[in-house]
Every structure is written in C-alpha cells, then in structure tokens.
Chain A
Amino acid sequence: MSELFQLYILFFRMGAVTFGGGYAMLPILRREIIESRRWMDEETVMDYYALSQGLPGIIAVNTATFIGQKCRGVAGGILATLGVVFPSLIIISLLAGVITAFSHLAWVQHAFGGVRVCVCILILNAVVKLYKKAVIDGPTLLVFLAVALGSYLTPLSPVLFVLAAAVVGIALKNMGVKK
C-alpha cells in the first residue's frame, strides 16, 4: 500500500511541475525512478517512453501507466495515471472559474486575441516537426494530404480517418508490392 501511495505521489508531483507534458517529464523520471529509487533501469524507461509516443492517447499518461504497471502491477498503473492527471484537474478547475469570471473585460479579450495568434504558430511548429518524421515517401505524403483535406473540408469524425489510415498502412506494407 505504501509503495502504491509513493507511486501516486511521485506521478502527482510530475503532473504538478511539468509544463508541456511528455517531453518535460523525462528529466524527472530519470532522477526519481532510475537514480534515486532504482525501480527500473534507464533502458526500460526509454523504451516505455518511446512506445508511449507511438500509442494512442496522451504521451505522459501512457508513460505513467507503463511505469506504474511495471513497478506495482495493474493497481500501480492505474494509480500512477490518476496521479499524473490529478494536478491538472485542480489547476484547470481553479483557472477556468477565474477566466470565466473575467472574460468580459476588454483587456482580457485583447490578451486572448494575442494568445490565439501564438497558438497558430505553436500548432504550425508542431505540424512541421511531426511532418518531418511521418511523411517519408510518396504514399505517406498522399495519406497526409488526403487526411488533411478530408478532415478540413468534411465534418467526418477523426476516428474514421485514423482507422482508414491504419488499414491503408497495413495494406501498403503487406500487399506484396513492396517486399
């Protein structure tokens, strides 16, 4: 029980102090899990982290679930996950109330006007970074364009595009044309 609680507290702290999620977690993971507690070795943590990026869901959440379950089984996985999301719940609940209360003020609206421009650039930068890793040849370029246009121009759910892309990926790689 106390070890489970420790796991919860550790990931709670990680959720509370890391800005930006997944990437920002790594230095703390290294210090707390590998160096001071010696629960896992560096290679395992890095493997889990890499795999977490590829799986569906939030990277930080996936990493927490992996490490929690590796350390203390199913209960560990669940508690580590609850730990990493709980600070968000507290902080956002407090903040959302404040924002709602002040959102009618002109200067607050101007501030968000500026912030939304920044969001455009942050998304653009994220897309460029992902594009370099994901679009590696002709077929992947076609998938990228088809999904980007299809998603922008139609109200179809992203779920459909994701499922179709997985099928297309499997078909392209296994239909014998390439190998």
Chain B
Amino acid sequence: MTVFETTNPEEIVAHILNSVDEEFFPLINSGNLKVNLTSVKKISELIAFLNESNELSAALDDFEPTDKTVSVIARGPFIGFGYKEPVKLAELISDAVGFSSSTANVTQNGRKILKAQIKILMPNILVRGDVNER
C-alpha cells in the first residue's frame, strides 16, 4: 500500500494516472477514458476536511483501476467530528461506495503508535471520454 498525501487536484490526477494499469493507457490516450475531475475535486475536499479535523492525517491510497475507485485514508490518535462536522462529513461521503474503520500501527519518531483509521472508498474516478461532467 502506498499512501500519497496531497489535496492538490493536479497531483491527485497525476497520482491516479501513475497508478493506472498499462492496459488502460490506449483508452486514456485515445480519449475514450478520462479522469473524472468532479470526483477528483470531491476527493480533494474530503482530504482537506479530514486534515483540518483534530490531529488527523488524510491521504490517498492506491487507485484501483478495475473498480475505478480510490481510497481516502485518515488516521489519528483520535478521530472525532463534532458540532456541524458530522453533517459536512456526511455530505462529502454522499457518493462514497465504502466506509470502514480499523486501527493501524504507525511508526512515528521511531515509536510504534496505535492510531484509529477510517477508509472511504470514492467511485467513478475514471469515466468514458464522452461523459460530460457537471
């Protein structure tokens, strides 16, 4: 698992294209398949929101070309959303196709620290080239 930390939409697109299997290259190069910039924008907003919350660190996980999904992972000593944040979280994951939680051992300054983790699976990263985006 490689984790890629950014909220920059251009870097997210580059990460997705770098993760795409070679079999998709002809489709992308011919314009029959393209990165869905609307989804990329939502992912960028989600990562930014998660990074603003508490001591969370959110990042992109590997792109899954077969499912055309990308995972957004957030980790922290405590993951908490309060006041109006649950509403914002709900809005940002309204398109998600997966939401799970677990723990992860993260090495920090040479020490292993147990952190809470949420994984949000965002869909439709690659769409047909002739699909107009909203």
Real binding pair: no
